[in-house]
Structure 1
Amino acid sequence: MEEALNLDMIGAGLIIIGAGFGLGKIGSAAMEGIARQPEAAGKIQTAMIIIAALLEGVAFAALFAV
Structure 2
Amino acid sequence: MDVEAAKMIGAGIAAIGTGAAGIGVGNLFGQYLQGALRNPSASDGQFGRLIFGFAVTEALGIFALLISLLLLFAV
Aligning the two structures, in what range does the TM-score lie when normalised by the shorter sequence?
A: 0.7 to 0.9
Percent identical: 24
In terms of Rg, which structure is larger? 2
What 5-or-longer segments of structure 2 have no aligned partner? 69-75
Higher relative contact order (CA 8 A, sep 6+): 2
Q: Which residue of 2 aligns with 1:48?
A: 50
Count how many residue pairs are aligned between Structure 1 and Structure 2.
Answer: 66
CA-CA distance at 1:65 after TM superposition:
2.5
Q: TM-score, normalised by structure 1?
A: 0.81
Alpha-carbon RMSD: 1.6
CA-CA distance at 1:31 after TM superposition:
0.3
* Higher mean C-alpha deviation, range 24-33 or range 51-60: 51-60
What 5-or-longer segments of structure 1 have no aligned partner? none
